[in-house]
Amino acid sequence: MLLRRGAIAAELKGKARPPFVYRDYGSLATIGRKNAVVQMGGMRVSGFLARLIWCLAHIYFLIGFRNRLVVILNWAWNSLTFARGARLITGLTGSRMEDMPAPAGSADLPITTDRVRAACPSDAPLGDSRFAWRR
């Protein structure tokens, strides 16, 4: 942040900007519930210790105390209850395909490509729950 302020201040005073310098902070990735991999400089860590480093880095870069607290509490709750967050957006309104009603008059007819094309207009947006059904 100080480098940007210095660059802007230098430009406002009519001076040349200092050259851009890239700093690689490393790579972090989670693997499952309890494992991760971390590579920072020459250091490589994997397993539970890497997961702790990943969690600390994630919390550190969040903005605001309230956001940090909410994420920590959410992680704690998910850890205790083994709850999984929604990781897939399907556009369905029900929790399962079976919960969705089939179109009227289609219960006794086999599903064919022609029937699907007739029921689903080509201009329907992807994931439109009105056209996501199966017998």
Q: Phi-psi bin for 14: left (phi > 0), alpha (psi -120 to 50), beta? A: left
pLDDT in tens, 11-64: 888 888 878 888 888 999 998 888 899 999 889 999 999 999 999 999 999 999
CA atoms within 13 A on the CB side of 90: 14
* Cα distance between residue 67 and residue 64, in whole Å: 6
What pTM was computed for the model? Answer: 0.49
What integer is the mean pLDDT of 88-117? 59
Name the burial class of residue 72, with classes exposed (0-12), middle (13-18) and buried (19+) by CB atoms within 10 angstroms of its CB.
middle
- According to the model, what pLDDT value does residue 66 have? 95
- Write out the two tokens for 48: 């539970």
- Write out the two tokens for 112: 């064919």
